[in-house]
């Protein structure tokens, strides 16, 4: 009976043939250098899966109106079974996902995994990261806390200054004269429908390209690529079961660490949005560098808004990141033979890290090394 059902299904769906094709593909050898480093992308996938799962749980209880949003989040925290943990996983998941995606991208760059023929894999990865950042910004407003409300006012002010489409984009996102009910509705629809759809589509493309092209071999240059994937992968291990087991172990560790941290450090609930501006407003860590960088621009440059000019250069930098494979065009993948590219990358990371640090300490008094360090708004010492 069982066999007859399976035969019948196979005749209609052809799943046995599909399975044989998938298994043959999964047994393809991967390059010998592909080890634990290539599990970073899978760890990001694990964080994304938890982010989606916790997001669906929260969506069952959340109400997207200024009157109900804050109270509905409090209800999730206090009344829904393990609601506090789902909230915490969702909050920590964003940080984990962004951090893993950045480390993954940095590793890919150092290993030359963005080079021909994997340029589009990089571009799709970068767009995936932008969608995740968009989800982080839109999700921040949803609990309708005072901090998130005012942070959104500041953010939309920055968007308004953006070159070319700033005014239009900020009006569209705000949905009115002030941040209010329409803004919340728009951020909600972006957060639960539009950005997840963009993310899903572009991530599928990213993973499809990874599967189609195979992982980048360490030593392959154009000439070696010409020999084909099979030649470059000689001596390597197959994806199934070797890499799959490694990936499963890494994903389990990533998910385990995320859940443990979320359980140990649930974020403090914020006060409900009000007319009182909270002191010391600053964005999440990933946007701190941009926040700090924009402070150094004068009010006007040759009659143009300094903020607009500053954002223009920031956009160029972001565009250069997304299109990096088309700028860094040499076929050589080995880091030791790409000294200039690696040095420029280290410099960019240093500038980003320093601006992030200055953004974190600016306008604060920090007690460290036995004394109080007073930082002004530009990150200098008072």
Place of tokens 């490694």: 246
Strand 371-374 with 365-368, pairing: antiparallel
How many residues sit close enough to ligand HEM to count as binding (CB under 6 A)?
26
By beta-carbon proximity to ligand HEM, the closer residue of 129 and 233 is: 129
Burial status of residue 265 (CB atoms within 10 A of its CB: 0-12, 13-18, 19 or more): exposed
122 binds ligand HEM (CB under 6 A): yes
By beta-carbon proximity to ligand HEM, the closer residue of 35 and 353 is: 35
338 binds ligand HEM (CB under 6 A): no
Stretch that binds ligand HEM, among 21-29, 40-48, 51-59, 147-155 (CB under 6 A): 40-48
Q: How far apart are alpha carbons 132 and 125 in whole angstroms?
A: 11
361 binds ligand HEM (CB under 6 A): no
94 binds ligand HEM (CB under 6 A): no
73 binds ligand HEM (CB under 6 A): no
Q: Is 304 helix (H, G, I), strand (E, B) or coil?
A: strand
Minimum CB distance to ligand HEM, residue 295 (Å): 27
**Alpha carbon 322 to its chain's center:** 13
38 binds ligand HEM (CB under 6 A): yes
Minimum CB distance to ligand HEM, residue 283 (Å): 19
**Alpha carbon 103 to its chain's center:** 10
Burial of 88-105, coded b for 16+ CB within 10 Å and e otherwise, reads: bbbbbbbbbbbebbbebb
Q: Is 197 helix (H, G, I), strand (E, B) or coil?
A: helix
Residue from 191, 206, 246, 338 touching ligand HEM (CB under 6 A): that is 206
Q: How far apart are alpha carbons 192 and 63 in whole angstroms?
A: 12
Residue from 58, 76, 87, 105 touching ligand HEM (CB under 6 A): that is 105
User: Can you give the binding site for ligand HEM, defined by CB under 6 A?
Assistant: 38, 40-42, 44-45, 48, 97, 101, 104-105, 108, 113-114, 118, 121-122, 125-126, 128-129, 132, 206, 210, 215-216
């Amino acid at each position: 009976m069982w066999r007859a059902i399976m035969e019948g299904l196979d005749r209609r769906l052809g799943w046995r043939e599909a399975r044989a094709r998938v298994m043959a593909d999964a047994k393809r050898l991967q390059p010998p250098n592909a080890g634990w480093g290539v599990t970073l992308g899978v760890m990001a996938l694990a964080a994304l899966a938890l982010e989606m799962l916790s997001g669906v749980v929260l969506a069952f209880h959340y109400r997207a109106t200024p009157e109900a949003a804050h109270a509905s989040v409090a209800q999730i925290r206090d009344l829904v079974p393990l609601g506090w943990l789902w909230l915490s996983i969702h909050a920590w998941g964003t940080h984990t996902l962004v951090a893993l995606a950045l480390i993954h991208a940095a590793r890919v760059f150092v290993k030359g995994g963005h080079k021909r023929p994997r340029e589009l894999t990089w571009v799709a990865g970068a767009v995936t990261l932008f969608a995740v950042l968009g989800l982080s910004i839109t999700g921040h407003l949803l609990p309708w806390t005072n901090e998130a409300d005012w942070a959104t006012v500041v953010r939309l002010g920055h968007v308004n200054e953006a070159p070319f489409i700033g005014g239009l984009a900020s009006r569209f996102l705000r949905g009115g004269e002030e941040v209010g009910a329409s803004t919340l509705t728009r951020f909600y629809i972006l957060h639960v429908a539009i950005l997840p759809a963009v993310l899903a589509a572009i991530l599928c493309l990213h993973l499809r390209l990874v599967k189609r092209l195979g992982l980048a071999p360490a030593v392959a240059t154009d000439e070696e690529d010409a020999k084909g994937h099979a030649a470059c992968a000689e001596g390597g291990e197959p994806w199934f079961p070797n890499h799959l087991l490694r990936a499963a172990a890494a994903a389990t560790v990533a998910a385990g660490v995320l859940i443990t941290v979320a359980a140990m450090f649930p974020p403090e609930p914020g006060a409900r949005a009000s007319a009182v501006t909270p002191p010391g407003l600053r964005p999440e860590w990933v946007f701190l560098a941009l926040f700090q960088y924009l402070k150094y621009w004068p009010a006007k440059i040759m009659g143009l808004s300094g903020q607009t000019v500053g954002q223009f250069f920031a956009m160029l930098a972001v565009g250069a990141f997304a299109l990096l494979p088309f700028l860094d065009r040499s076929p050589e993948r080995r880091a030791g033979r790409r000294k200039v590219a690696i040095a420029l990358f280290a410099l960019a990371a240093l500038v980003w890290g320093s601006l992030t640090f200055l953004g974190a300490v600016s306008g604060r008094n920090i007690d460290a090394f036995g004394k109080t360090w007073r930082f002004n708004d530009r990150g200098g010492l008072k």
